[in-house]
Structure 1
Amino acid sequence: MSDKPRALMPAWMDANRLAIVKGELDKAGVELVTAQFRTEEELLAVAKDVDGIYENPVHITRHVMESLPRLRAICAMGIGYDRFDVPAATELGVVVINLPKVFHREVASHAIALILANVRKLRTLDIATREGARAGTGPKRSVDAIPYHWLYGETLGLVSFGNIAREVARMAKAFELNVIAYDPYVPAEVAAQHGVTLVPDLDTLFRESDFISVHTPLSPETKHMIGERQFRLMKPTSIFVNTARGGVVDEAALVRALREGWIASAGLDVTEVEPVRGDNPLIDLENVILTPHVAAASEMDRRERPRWLGIEMGRVLTGKWPINGLVNKKVKPRFPLTND
Structure 2
Amino acid sequence: MSKIIVADNPLNELSVARDLLPQGLDAVFARHGSSEFNAALADAVCLVGFGDGTMDDAFYKSAPKLKLIQLLSAGYDRCDIEAARRAGVPICNNGGANSTAVAEHAILLMLAVSRRLVWQHANVSGGRWRGNNVDDVKLYEMKGKTLGIVGLGAIGKKTARLAQAFGMTVQYYDVVRLSEERADDLRVKFSLLDELLRTSDIVTLHVPLLAETRHMIGTPQLKLMKPSAYLINTCRGPVVDEAALIEALSNGTIAAAGLDVFDQEPPPPNNPLFALPNVTLTAHMAGPTYDTQFSRFRNAYDNCQRVMRGDKPLWVIPELAGLVA
Using the size of structure 2 for normalisation, the TM-score is: 0.87
After superposition, give the CA deviation of every residue in 1:17-64 in whole Å (9 maximum; x if it has no partner): 33135x23xx3x33212334449x997665233222233463234554
Letter in 1 for 2:183: A
Partner SS state of residue 157, structure 1: strand
* Matched residue, 2:323: 332
Native 8 Å contact 1:131 1:139 kept in 2: no
Choose from 212, 217, 232 the match for 2:208.
217
Letter in 2 for 1:79: A
Identity rate, percent: 34
* Aligned counterparts of 1:152 and 1:18: Cα–Cα separation in 2: 40
* Matched residue, 2:80: 85
Native 8 Å contact 2:99 2:287 kept in 1: yes
* Matched residue, 1:117: 112
* Matched residue, 1:16: 15
Native 8 Å contact 1:124 1:145 kept in 2: no
Offset at 1:169? 0.6
Instruction: Say yes or no: does 1:240 pair with 2:231.
Output: yes
Native 8 Å contact 1:236 1:261 kept in 2: yes
Native 8 Å contact 2:95 2:299 kept in 1: no
Using the size of structure 1 for normalisation, the TM-score is: 0.84
Offset at 1:150? 4.9
* Aligned counterparts of 1:50 and 1:295: Cα–Cα separation in 2: 31
**Of the two structures, which has the highest relative contact order with CA contacts closer than 8 Å and spacing of 6 or more?**
1
Offset at 1:188? 4.2
* Aligned counterparts of 2:135 and 2:56: Cα–Cα separation in 1: 48
Letter in 2 for 1:195: R
Residues 243-282 of structure 1 mapped to structure 2, 5 A cutoff: 243-282=234-273
Offset at 1:226? 1.4
* Aligned counterparts of 2:202 and 2:120: Cα–Cα separation in 1: 21
Letter in 2 for 1:74: I
Partner SS state of residue 126, structure 2: helix
Offset at 1:296? 2.0
Native 8 Å contact 2:52 2:79 kept in 1: no
Choose from 41, 49, 54 the match for 1:55.
49
Native 8 Å contact 1:91 1:331 kept in 2: no
- Which is worse superposed, 302-311 or 111-120? 302-311
Native 8 Å contact 1:156 1:212 kept in 2: yes
Distance change (3 Å), C-alpha of 1:232 and 1:125: same
Letter in 2 for 1:265: A
In structure 1, list runs of 5 or more residues that go unmatched.
none
What's the RMSD between the two structures over aligned residues?
A: 2.7
Choose from 174, 188, 193 the match for 2:185.
193
Distance change (3 Å), C-alpha of 1:294 and 1:237: same
* Aligned counterparts of 1:271 and 1:122: Cα–Cα separation in 2: 21
Choose from 152, 170, 190 the match for 1:161.
152
Letter in 2 for 1:326: V
Letter in 1 for 2:233: N
Offset at 1:172? 1.1
Offset at 1:260? 1.1
